[in-house]
Amino acid sequence: MGSRTASPSLPESLARLAVKLGIVVALVYGTLRLLDWASDRSEMANSPGMMIAILAILLIAYAVLIAVPFMPGIEVGISLLMLKGASIAPLVYAATVLGLLIAYFIGRLMPYAWVQRLFADLRLRRASEMVSRLEPLSRVERMALLSARAPDWLVPVLRTGQYVTLGLLLNVPGNALIGGGGGIAFIAGFSRLFRPGVTIVVFLIAVLPVPLAVYLGGTP
């Protein structure tokens, strides 16, 4: 199945990319400002209720940041753990899992046509055509197509070890270079190869080590 539409003109592609990039930049900037605001106010909170409200805002903003691809959001989580210690570890854990789930389900629900159009705007014709070919396929057919195009060493991972690989990728240092936790979770959802129930369990396990170490014994 070929591309659905003709390649857009360069000005049209640049305009669409600028709008998309602007939205992402605005989201990240607003989230970072909200994090700064909540962090500052948390030091001046003079009542338990205000502290809880500010902490909730801080963790929601952190969850949103985690969900954005290519953002090193986990570093923000580690900073929160270092600043607040064991008392905040369960909340950071929950917010991290929430951020990954947001990215995963956005990817799972995103129409293939949107990503196909993005690749077309970036002049990535082969990637655009691959998305077009994958869209009408079932999960089994999609796995077969990807396995046929993958290197031999990667085929067993795709067929039997994809969930283990997903968990390992979420814990690889510097994974922001390959999309960060949000990007990895988004691709897992968009590929439609990772079942929601198992993926949720993978996220729950993969995120656990650092918050658990802080909760049980302080700095990991």
CB 133 within 8 A of CB 100: no
The predicted-structure confidence for 131-146, as pLDDT tens digits, reads as follows 777 777 777 887 777 7
Residue 105 confidence (pLDDT): 94
Q: How confident is the model at residue 75 (pLDDT cuts 50, 70, 90)?
A: low
CB 71 within 8 A of CB 177: no
Residue 196 confidence (pLDDT): 94
Tell me 20's DSSP state: H
Q: What mean pLDDT do residues 3-21 have?
A: 59
Phi, psi of 161 (to 5 degrees): -120, 20
CB 182 within 8 A of CB 103: yes
What Å distances lie between residue 198 and 4, 106, 137, CA to CA? 33, 17, 21
Q: What is the pTM of this model?
A: 0.71
Distance of CA 34 to the CA centre of its chain: 19
* 185 closest CA partner among 81, 85, 83, 108: 108
Q: What is the percent of the chain with per-residue pLDDT over 70, rounded to a whole number? A: 65
What Å distances lie between residue 13 and 7, 63, 122, 190, CA to CA? 9, 31, 7, 22
Is 196 or 192 the better-scoring residue by pLDDT?
Answer: 196
Residue 51 confidence (pLDDT): 63
Is 164 or 142 the better-scoring residue by pLDDT?
Answer: 164
The predicted-structure confidence for 91-109, as pLDDT tens digits, reads as follows 888 888 998 999 999 989 9
Distance CA 8, CA 209 (A): 46
* 119 closest CA partner among 13, 23, 21: 13
Residue 151 confidence (pLDDT): 67
Strands, E, within 64-174: which ranges?
Answer: none
Distance CA 105, CA 188 (A): 9
The predicted-structure confidence for 85-95, as pLDDT tens digits, reads as follows 777 788 888 88
